[in-house]
Structure 1
Amino acid sequence: MPAWLFALFAAAFVLYTDDYVIAGVLPEIARDLKVSEARAGQLVTVFSLTVALAAPIAGVALARVSRRRLFTVSFVLFTASNLLAAAVTGFGPLVALRIVAALAAAASTPAVFAYAAERAPKGHIGRYVAVVALGVTGSIAAGVPIGTWIGGHFGWRATFVSMAAAGAAALVFLLVTLPRERDDRAAGTPSIPEQLRVLAGPPVALGLLANCALMTGSMMMLTYTAPYLAAMSEASVDQRALAFSLSGFAGVLCIWAGGKAADRWGPDRALFTGMGVFTGMMAILGMLWFVRPVPFSVLVVVGTIWGGMAFWNSPAIQTRLYLLAGPAAAQALALNTSGTYLGVSLGGVLGGLTLSGPGAGLLPVVAAALGLGALALLALAVVASKKSPSGERAMAAEHG
């Protein structure tokens, strides 16, 4: 695989680490800036919501900008905002700088995935996208723990300095490895009305909704795994840590496997498989509630499978959108980024309401219902794509 693909992986790793790492240094930020931890936690909310709102707008507005220029400006802003964040003395300026970093991420994250898909050899789109998506799981498995360790030993400001250094290194890696070629993006990009027509069409729009529904259910369970395990098996802290670790490891393997499946089977079949297995695992967890306490070994096996299959879908959905959207593929991937972050936010809210109301036992039931909804939406999207010219072109491109 080309060096530039690993530069895109590094870019995704840095961008997603910057979002998640705040959670690891929240106590230090709250104590130093004299705010509550609940208020400091809104730094994560502000970042996620900014990306969700700005990504589709940036995707359309920056469609004609060359990728090298886009990455350069985005990562310069990203690096500067993190450096300045390390020097702030008030919570308000820190919030403002997190918004700037989120805007940089909103502009560049979809472009990172689109660049990989655009330049992948025929029949390898899923695998190239999967390599970049590994940066997402890598940020959770390695980036966040490293950033948290730095903050715990050298202060939270050192974490932001580290993120700035990582952003600068990622930019250098991108500029050194990205091919210097003529960018005819301005000439090949459709007009804004045409972009909106493609994005609002049922083949793309229904697929985006399906992914958002799946992310809501998946992130709801992931966010509230600890109270669910505690209610089901009285799992210890070490056992909960093991469950998260195995789920992350499975995610790394399944992202790559999902990318290969999207190339070999086609993205639709790969998505039906991933969504179906996820929904089945949620149904099993829901039924196990009635025979609790359940051995931790049983729960961790089921949890590892669903955790892996949740990540399996990422390269498949992005491959599908890229093939269907054509010249508006980057904008479709931007909307997918928005839908993913929206799903994360909705999962936290819906899971909190479920946990505080009916209780932990209903968490997998709600997640299974969302999985069924995602499958239904995907089925409608597939039917719509078969009836559209863009769907026919996608099928032709997919099968060579």
Structure 2
Amino acid sequence: MPPWLFVLLAVSFVLYTDDYVIAGILPEIAADLGVTEGQAGQLVTAFSATVAVVAPVAAVALARVPPRRLFLVALIIFVGANLGAVGTSYFGVLMGLRVVAAAATASATPAIFAFAASHAPTEKTGRYLATVSLGVTGSIALGVPLGTWIGGAFGWRATFLAVAVAGMLALIGVLFTVPGSGRGDRSPRLSEQLRSLTRTPIAVSLAANCLLMAGTMMVLTYLAPYLSATAGAGVEERGVAFGLSGFAGMAGIWLGGQVADRWGPGRALFFGIGVIIAAMVAMWAMWAVRPVPIWLVLIVTTVWGGMAFWNSPAIQMRLHRLAGPLAGQALALNTSGTYLGIAFGAAAGGFVLTETGPGVLPLTAAGFGLAALFLLELVRRSPPAGRTRGSDETPPAGEASHGSKSSNHGDQSHHRNSSKHTENTGE
């Protein structure tokens, strides 16, 4: 795999560590800036909400900006916002800087995934997307604990300084490894983009991803009370459960990308969602016969954690195929849907927990999974952009590596080639 792919993995790792690391240093921020921990927690809300709102807007507004230039400018702004956080003593200023950092993240994230997919050899699209996605899961498994340790040892400002330094290193990596792409995407007019992105297959796929994320976050957010009620887990056991789920997620996202390449995104998604539903039913059953041994719960939650991230490359690969030249915009909407699913899942999970207790959470999440599976089945055989149902799916000889040789994400010949190389999205 090319060096630039691992640099983009590092970029996504840094960007998303900056989002999640706040959770580990909330008490220190609140005490130093004279606010409650609840108020400090709104720094996370502001970051996530900004990403959800800005990502699709930036994908349209910045479509003509060459990806390499977009990455560099976004990282410069991101580093500046984190350096500003190091020096501020006012909570309001810190909140504003978090919004700026989130806007930079939202501008770069969809372009990172679109760039990786459009520059991947046809048979390795899923693996390229999985590699970049490892940065997101790695930020949870490695970045957040590391940032939390730095904050505990040297103060919360040191965490932001570390993120800024990591951002500078990522910027240097982009500067020296990411190929220039000439002009940006020669995207259609806004009205044409909206018509294409509201096509039923794309809209339904986006909704399915939102439902999957809602179910995942419903359980993940309130996993601690579930573990306590089901297996009497203490702090150490809960830490082990979260750690195992995080590392399983990293393995799952990598394996999911490889399987999506071999099976196609449709089959990979159906397998992944099916295992998630089975794991949720098993978690509900364990709660119903509680108490159960903690090791048994850890096995099921680890499998679930791996499969929760398994689906990410397949969903992105599916959207990239369906959207054709509007892949960047579709992936931006997918980013928005992911964050909306996270917010809705956490809120709905809190309601379920309060009204019915932790045991019903996995059963409710299984319902979300079934709904996502139903939506995907409705559009399982939808043709990609630029193709009609029943068109020839076999590419002409010699075209198999064309997509990997194109250096312009917006190059129209690349998109024609990408369409020719897609198998039926439901197969």
TM-score interval (norm. to shorter) = over 0.9
| Cα distance, 1:63 vs structure 2 | 0.8
| Cα distance, 1:385 vs structure 2 | 4.1
| Cα distance, 1:6 vs structure 2 | 0.4
| Cα distance, 1:89 vs structure 2 | 1.2
Secondary structure of the 1:294 match is coil
Q: Which residue of 1 aligns with 2:295?
A: 297
* Structure-to-structure mapping, 1:138-153, within 5 angstroms: 138-153=138-153
| Cα distance, 1:287 vs structure 2 | 2.0
Distance 1:144 1:125 in 2: 28
Q: Give yes or no for contact 1:52–1:342 (8 Å, CA) kept in 2.
A: yes
| Cα distance, 1:189 vs structure 2 | 1.7
Q: Which amino acid aligns with 1:397?
A: H
Q: Deviations over 1:80-115 (max 9, x none)?
A: 011011111111111111000000001001111111
Aligned length: 398
Distance 1:100 1:368 in 2: 36
* Structure-to-structure mapping, 1:235-246, within 5 angstroms: 235-246=233-244
Judging changes above 3 Å, is the alpha-carbon distance between structure 1 residues 93 and 279 closer, same or farther for their aligned structure 2 residues? Answer: same
Distance 1:65 1:387 in 2: 23
* Structure-to-structure mapping, 1:1-400, within 5 angstroms: 1-183=1-183, 185-186=184-185, 188-385=186-383, 389=387, 396-399=420-423
Question: Which residues of structure 2 form unaligned runs of 5+?
Answer: 394-417
| Cα distance, 1:253 vs structure 2 | 1.1
Q: Deviations over 1:15-62 (max 9, x none)?
A: 000000001110000000000000100000010011001101111111
Q: Give yes or no for contact 1:232–1:294 (8 Å, CA) kept in 2.
A: yes
Q: Deviations over 1:335-372 (max 9, x none)?
A: 11111111111111111111111111110011011000
| Cα distance, 1:180 vs structure 2 | 3.0
Q: Give yes or no for contact 2:273–2:373 (8 Å, CA) kept in 1.
A: yes
| Cα distance, 1:388 vs structure 2 | 8.2
Distance 2:81 2:11 in 1: 16
Secondary structure of the 1:239 match is helix
Q: Give yes or no for contact 2:141–2:246 (8 Å, CA) kept in 1.
A: yes
| Cα distance, 1:379 vs structure 2 | 1.0
Q: Give yes or no for contact 1:202–1:385 (8 Å, CA) kept in 2.
A: no
Q: Give yes or no for contact 2:249–2:309 (8 Å, CA) kept in 1.
A: yes
**Of 192-201 and 110-119, the range deviating more from structure 2:** 192-201
Q: Deviations over 1:267-317 (max 9, x none)?
A: 011011111110111112112222111111111111111110000001110
Q: Give yes or no for contact 1:202–1:384 (8 Å, CA) kept in 2.
A: no
Q: Which amino acid aligns with 1:18?
A: D
Secondary structure of the 2:291 match is coil
Judging changes above 3 Å, is the alpha-carbon distance between structure 1 residues 387 and 24 closer, same or farther for their aligned structure 2 residues? Answer: closer
Judging changes above 3 Å, is the alpha-carbon distance between structure 1 residues 39 and 390 closer, same or farther for their aligned structure 2 residues? Answer: farther
Question: Which residues of structure 1 form unaligned runs of 5+?
Answer: none
| Cα distance, 1:377 vs structure 2 | 1.1
Q: Give yes or no for contact 1:221–1:364 (8 Å, CA) kept in 2.
A: yes
Q: Give yes or no for contact 2:324–2:384 (8 Å, CA) kept in 1.
A: no
Q: Give yes or no for contact 1:137–1:251 (8 Å, CA) kept in 2.
A: yes
**Of 220-229 and 387-396, the range deviating more from structure 2:** 387-396
| Cα distance, 1:381 vs structure 2 | 2.5
| Cα distance, 1:164 vs structure 2 | 1.0
**Of 32-41 and 386-395, the range deviating more from structure 2:** 386-395
**Of 309-318 and 159-168, the range deviating more from structure 2:** 159-168
Distance 1:245 1:62 in 2: 37
Provide runs of 4+ in structure 1 moved above 6 Å. Answer: none
Q: Give yes or no for contact 1:258–1:315 (8 Å, CA) kept in 2.
A: yes
Q: Which amino acid aligns with 2:422?
A: E
Distance 1:136 1:145 in 2: 14
Distance 2:384 2:105 in 1: 34
Judging changes above 3 Å, is the alpha-carbon distance between structure 1 residues 205 and 27 closer, same or farther for their aligned structure 2 residues? Answer: same
Q: Give yes or no for contact 2:323–2:384 (8 Å, CA) kept in 1.
A: no
Q: Deviations over 1:145-186 (max 9, x none)?
A: 111111111111111111111111111101110113433x34
Q: Give yes or no for contact 2:245–2:301 (8 Å, CA) kept in 1.
A: yes
Distance 1:253 1:69 in 2: 31
The share of aligned pairs that are identical, in percent, is: 57
Q: Give yes or no for contact 2:385–2:419 (8 Å, CA) kept in 1.
A: no
Distance 2:49 2:87 in 1: 24
Q: Which amino acid aligns with 1:116?
A: A
Q: Give yes or no for contact 2:66–2:180 (8 Å, CA) kept in 1.
A: no
Secondary structure of the 1:120 match is coil
| Cα distance, 1:64 vs structure 2 | 0.9
Q: Deviations over 1:194-243 (max 9, x none)?
A: 21112100111100000000000001111111100100010122211111
Distance 2:237 2:182 in 1: 53
| Cα distance, 1:384 vs structure 2 | 4.1
Q: Give yes or no for contact 2:321–2:385 (8 Å, CA) kept in 1.
A: no
Q: Give yes or no for contact 1:323–1:397 (8 Å, CA) kept in 2.
A: no
Secondary structure of the 1:389 match is coil
